[in-house]
Amino acid sequence: MPDPAPAHPPSVYLTLPDGQELRGRLLARRWTPAGWRYRVAVTLWSATATGVEPADYTLWVPAEDRAYLRPDDGADYTHVPTEGPPSHPYLAPPPPEADMHWAWTTEQTRAAGPGSRPTGLVIHEYGCEHAPPGGPELTLDQALTAYARTGARACQSCAAAEVLTRL
């Protein structure tokens, strides 16, 4: 069972792709088959119908690479809710000698055939018999990002639905 959430989540520094560094709050930690992910909240400006106001945005950030996150000196992270590795062997950490190359691909769905407007996205395990041939090869992080998009769904015929819906 995860630890109770801290009253005031500890701060961390999030580095954006353009090099900007923002101070955020560490809300949770979760283990995934691709490694640890940290859920971070940052406050940014957001345009509204009446003007501009601050809004909180949350995202899951890979924890292994310090290029994205760094701790705030003196912050106490002991009470951050943490979901450790699951007990189910299918999602448990792999042995060191295991081949971790697990690829995914996407299929653009259309309303009425080729040339019509795209209506959604289906994520498949690479090599799925229902995946379009020659599709892009995605990492797990890329597949999870695609799965989070509006209109995306996981294929029910391969491991995509089993794995992506758990993460």
Question: Would you state the torsion angle of the CA atoms of residues 123, 124, 126, 130, taken in this order, to the nearest 10 degrees?
Answer: -130
Q: Is residue 142 within a helix (H) or strand (E), and if so which, with residue range?
A: helix 140-147
Residue range 127-167, pLDDT digits in tens:
788 888 888 888 888 888 888 888 888 888 877 777 777 66
For residue 108, what are the β-bridge partners?
Answer: 121
Return d(Cα 161, Cα 156) in angstroms, integer.
6
Residue range 56-100, pLDDT digits in tens:
888 888 877 677 888 899 889 889 998 876 555 555 555 555 555
